[in-house]
Amino acid sequence: FFFSLFLCSEELRRWFLQQEMDLFRYRFSQLTDNLMQKFLEHVNLSFEGVSEELKTELENELCASTPGFSLPKVKEQMFYKVGLADAVDLFRTRRVFIKDGFAYVPFKEMDAIVLNNYRTKLSKALALTARSLPSIQSDERLQPLLKHLSHSYVGPDYSIQKNTGKISLEQIDALSVKSFPLCMRQLHRALRDTHHLRHGGRMQYGLFLKGIGLTLEQALEFWKKEFIRGKVDADKFDKGYAYSIRHNYGKEGKRTDYTPYSCMKIIMSNPPSQGDYHGCPFRHSDPELLKQKLQSYKIPPSGITQILDLVKGMHYQLACQKYFELTHEVDDIGFSLNHPNQYFTESQKLLTGGREPKKELSNSGNSQQKNNSQESMNSNSTPTSSNTTADTELEGLEAYFTED
Ligand code: SF4
């Protein structure tokens, strides 16, 4: 409630809604089946489960109308009868069987219902609190907070360069294809093609390169080599551009050791103009151009559709996560993306064996994990302790659904 008071513009409100939705989606996805069930009951979203007899009677229809479901899977999964008003998205995209005014929703799709419900409640709450804004805005003590809230980032700042000096300049072209997020891949390509980047691009890309481990000497060599291929001669580079590179490394001016930009900063501030290549392509590119770019990077059409849907819903970081999954051929990215350097680090971990690919873990793996947790809950000889675990897991999550 406190933060929502500070959302004075439509864009900030959307940003806040997006953060809350992402957090909720993540927390909900971490629950075991048992806890999800408990949570649904707790927030009065308990829907009628389809009995085994009815499921057997309708198994052919359920199988035919639920994408990705075979008969054995229909038998194995729990289905719920959900009123059409709560399942609009699912039946509009033909993902569920409809009968007598009810959608027959498999358990794995229940998160869509819960998220929808949460979004509606939160939007309503935001609209109500926005009415209090005029009085809050007049308080100058709160204005700086309001201004900087949406740019805040509390994750690692990637200024501590464990890898400093471990990357050679010759590796950068290959790394830009394999391990750079789209924003940095775009900047690198533009730099190679035009032999120049404007200030916003040099800052965003230069600090990213610093974060992945380029030393100051390497950075000077890298930028100089590229710029002198274009319209800038060596002398002009030394006089005009070398200073700001040294500045980024804390060797000039106030000697601040600047940190690479987070996704939030890139998405929310300094949008690119004509001739700029910085920014977040998922946020700042025209969807048609983004589509062409993804096609040229050999992203499969179904993946492009998923990415564009996420972009349309303003889920830019999720679109980037999907891009990671598709380019690394994993089903589950396994982390929540907040920073371009995090993207790079995770990509390198995956490609160099620091982290196991998640492909085989996918749905069956997750359900295995969940089933194991469920089993241990069921077989737990001390129900009190099981409940305590459940309560701990759910702690705070119910608050998402508390009334305004
Ligand atoms: Fe870059 Fe972040 Fe946008 Fe991905 S979401 S392209 S890492 S700014």
Q: Which of 183, 207, 267, 339 to mutate to test the pocket of ligand 1 (most atoms within 8 A of CB)?
A: 183
Pocket of ligand 1 from Cβ distances under 6 Å: 181-183, 263, 266-267, 280-282, 316-317, 320, 340, 343
Question: By C-alpha distance, which of 104, 56, 101, 58 is closest to 79?
Answer: 104
From atom 1 of ligand 1, which residue's Cα is the shortest distance away? 183
Least confident of 136-145, 158-167, 354-363: 354-363
* Residues 179-199, mean pLDDT to the nearest whole number: 97
Give the Å distance between the CA of 323 and the centre of ligand 1: 10
Q: Is the pLDDT reported for residue 402 higher than 60?
A: no
From atom 5 of ligand 1, which residue's Cα is the shortest distance away? 317
**The pLDDT value given to residue 45:** 76
The pLDDT-based confidence of 92 (bands split at 50, 70, 90) is: confident
Structural domains of the chain, with CATH: 3-116 (1.20.930.80), 170-352 (no CATH)
Q: Is the pLDDT reported for residue 210 higher than 80?
A: yes
From atom 6 of ligand 1, which residue's Cα is the shortest distance away? 183
**The pLDDT value given to residue 396:** 52
Residues 323 and 182: beta-carbon distance below 8 Å:
yes
Could you read off the pLDDT of 370-382 as tens digits, one per residue?
Answer: 333 333 333 333 3
From atom 2 of ligand 1, which residue's Cα is the shortest distance away? 263
Q: Is the pLDDT reported for residue 307 higher than 50?
A: yes
**Better-predicted residue by pLDDT, 77 or 323:** 323
* Residues 330-334, mean pLDDT to the nearest whole number: 83
Q: Is the pLDDT reported for residue 366 higher than 80?
A: no
**The pLDDT value given to residue 161:** 59
HSE-up (13 A, CA, CB side) for residue 158: 23
Cα 15–22–278 angle (5° rounding)? Answer: 55
**The pLDDT value given to residue 245:** 92
Q: Say whether 259 sits in a helix, a strand or coil.
A: coil
Cα 11–17–20 angle (5° rounding)? Answer: 140
Least confident of 36-50, 135-149, 218-232, 361-375: 361-375
Could you read off the pLDDT of 259-298 as tens digits, one per residue?
Answer: 899 998 999 889 999 999 999 999 999 999 999 999 999 9
Give the Å distance between the CA of 117 and the centre of ligand 1: 28
**Better-predicted residue by pLDDT, 379 or 322:** 322
Least confident of 151-160, 171-180, 221-230: 151-160
Q: Say whether 79 sits in a helix, a strand or coil.
A: strand
From atom 7 of ligand 1, which residue's Cα is the shortest distance away? 340
**The pLDDT value given to residue 128:** 76
**The pLDDT value given to residue 154:** 61
Q: Which of 176, 209, 263 to mutate to test the pocket of ligand 1 (most atoms within 8 A of CB)?
A: 263
Give the Å distance between the CA of 320 and the centre of ligand 1: 6
Give the Å distance between the CA of 6 and the centre of ligand 1: 25
Q: At what angle do helices 383-394 and 362-378 cross, to 10 degrees?
A: 140
Atom of ligand 1 nearest to the CA of 280: 3
DSSP 254-313: T---PPPPPHHHHHHSS---TT---S-HHHHS-HHHHHHHHHHTT--HHHHHHHHHHHHT
Give the Å distance between the CA of 55 and the centre of ligand 1: 44
Q: What is the pTM of this model?
A: 0.59
